[in-house]
Chain A
């Protein structure tokens, strides 16, 4: 598509429930990133995919968080046993694959999914 698409735009759930957030990157972008943005804060890195594999998952806060990208395009962020502290905006971004030793490629972000855990 023309931009990065994220669904749902807003999700309200109850503590303890399971949630899935979807990201559809720009067509042809092999790199995909998930970030979490708490109220009044900057985005915090969660995980990065290159193709189908997670190249860096060092930002996932605990084992309740998991993300997949089975066909190298759409990605799903999965949160088990949600807690009130998981409430945040979850941002997805994609980019073309960088040349080696270059951070020049720009990330294009989606509008995010706002998760509220009651």
Chain B
């Protein structure tokens, strides 16, 4: 079974600075997808960024980028120019690429606070 590990329970960043959230995963599969979701106090999970395992190029979405190290099974999220609205819980998630509509497996999450 696949597992996703987020070992940092909390992180804090100064507004306008850069922060990196760590995630590692364990799988024997070669075809899979990785995601970072944001969960604000409203509880709704919001997709931040997605990475296909077969792509070597790291995904980027505006201020959000990932460092995907397939051999090391590492998938970290970098937030640049942090904003107060970035404060939330962030979850790393894994999804197998084989078979239609497989489930997401989530890590325990990390609480990010942004200092003004």
Binding site for B on A (CB under 8 A): 31, 33, 40-45, 48, 50, 55-56, 59, 89, 91, 93, 95, 97-112, 114
Contact = CB atoms under 8 A, between A and B. Distances in A.
Given A111-B42, A111-B43, A42 B97 contact: no
B83 interface: no
Given A42-B109, A101-B98, A110 B103 contact: no
B98 A43 contact: no
Given A101-B98, A104-B33, A48 B50 contact: no
Q: Is the interface of A mostly helix, strand, loop or mixed?
A: loop
Most B CB contacts (10 A, CB to CB) among A31, A99, A104, A107 go to A107
B109 A41 contact: yes
Interface of B: 4, 6, 31-33, 35, 37, 42-47, 50, 52, 91, 93, 95-109
A88 B31 CA distance: 32
Given A33-B103, A59-B103, A107-B104, A102 B97 contact: yes
A43 B109 CA distance: 9
